[in-house]
Amino acid sequence: MSATEIDYYELLEVERGADDKTIKSSYRRLAMRYHPDKNPGCGDSEARFKQISEAYDCLKDPQKRAAYDRYGHAAFQQGMGGGGHPGGAEFGDIGDIFESIFGSAFGGGGRQQARRGADLRYDMEVSLDEAFHGKQTEITIEVSQSCEPCNGSGAEPGTGKRGCNMCGGHGKVRAQQGFFVVERTCPTCHGRGEVIEKPCRSCGGEGRVDKPQALQVEIPPGVDSGTRIRLSGKGEAGPFGAPPGDLYIFLHVKRHKVFERDGTTLITRVPITFTTAALGGSIEIPGMDGENLSIDIPAGIQSGKQLRKRGAGMPVLQGRGRGDLVIEISVETPTKLSARQKELIRELQATETGDECPQSKGFFDRIKEAWSDLTE
């Protein structure tokens, strides 16, 4: 087997019994990897892209795949199986017969449309405040755009295109494979049915050039890390005037100094004095909308207890309302006390009976029970 006759299944990295969905998925993945636009100037990538495209063109068609599974590459070599057709039908007659029966599988379809431009990805980092309020910003990207001098045609202004001599302007060539007639994309015009007489000097005949493009991006309130914004038609220009691809902006929200986020819920940890924890009270914390939020602290609250403020969280993306704000309490023990404060605390300690702190009492009761079991 020659270098150009690598097994089609190996080229597409699938098993011989793979279904159509698996073959299509693998082709798309490999086409993205080896696409000439993704590997400019790399001859090996361009050659591999052509090979996998040829392999997919065969395996996606049930009749072609059946012929390939039976005869391999020999199924697509001119004159395989000898012969012709009983009754002396000519090549064109056979093609017409199969075109009338199978349509584009063996004869129809005409020239290929120029492929759409590639989609692009842009990663953007925003603050939690920007994610809360939303914002409009501008980005500048280097992207292939339609060549202005030739208007994306690839032909030098004042010149034109002519029909391809290889395929007669059809974009495809036929080959007789015994009783069958197989169609393949024309290798000269690559399916366009026409060739450029004189390539444009600005774009080298590609119909597109790389240049910076400034774009306005609207970031809606409520976005989160992983949110994707699609700018239709702002990707790479398609070759030879084909439609452009899309630009996808992937957002990443930076960590905030005060708030953590879980979907539309905001979480913050607030330290309070042990007197406030014991007696209760209220505290104020700033919300993401700039308003101060009053939080009521119930008497006897413990560290780790969570309080919830309804509707004070993040906006619902593309929806109504807001999530909640969760305040996790941390009771702080004082580290610097005056003599008077120490005296007051000793007075408080002297009045303790053990019932004031049920969790502590329950814990030490369990310790005593466990110790008694060990000593019995």
Bridge partners, 165 (sequence order): none
Least confident residue range of 28-32, 96-100, 235-239: 96-100
- What contacts 113, CB < 8 A, 6 or more positions away? 242
The answer to whether residue 124 scores a pLDDT higher than 90 is yes
State both tokens at 317.
Answer: 């993306």
Supply 358's token pair.
């049920």
Which residues are 327's β-sheet partners?
268, 307
Predicted confidence band of residue 41 (pLDDT cuts 50, 70, 90): confident
Residue 185 scores a pLDDT above 80: yes
Average pLDDT, the chain: 82
Q: Is 141 exposed, middle or buried (0-12, 13-18, 19+ CB in 10 A)?
A: middle
358 three-class SS: helix
Determine the number of helices (DSSP H) and then strands (DSSP E) in the chain: 9, 15
pLDDT at 361 over 70: no
DSSP string, 307-350: EEETT-SPBPTTSSSB--EEEEEEEEPPS---HHHHHHHHHHHH
Distance CA 189, CA 167 (A): 8
Backbone angles phi, psi at 58, to 5 degrees: -80, -50
Is 42 part of any known ligand binding site?
no
Task: Tell whether residue 357 is among the known ligand binding residues.
Answer: no
> What is the pTM assigned to this prediction?
0.57
Q: Which residues pair with 329 in a beta bridge?
A: 270
Q: Is 58 annotated as a binding residue?
A: no
Q: What residues are paired with 120 via a beta bridge?
A: 247
Taking residues 116-141, report their average pLDDT. Answer: 93
Domains and CATH numbers, the chain: 3-60 (1.10.287.110), 120-160+197-253 (2.60.260.20), 261-363 (2.60.260.20)
Query: Which residue in the block uniquely carries the two structure tokens 């309804």?
Result: 310
Count of C-beta atoms within a 10 Å radius of residue 122? 17
Highest mean pLDDT among 64-78, 103-117, 230-244, 245-259: 245-259
Q: Are 316 and 264 in contact (CB under 8 A)?
A: yes
Task: State what percent of residues in the chain have pLDDT above 70.
Answer: 81
Are 160 and 197 spatial neighbours (Cβ–Cβ below 8 Å)?
yes
pLDDT in tens, 99-115: 433 444 444 445 555 57
**Burial of 67 per CB tally in 10 Å (0-12, 13-18, 19+):** buried
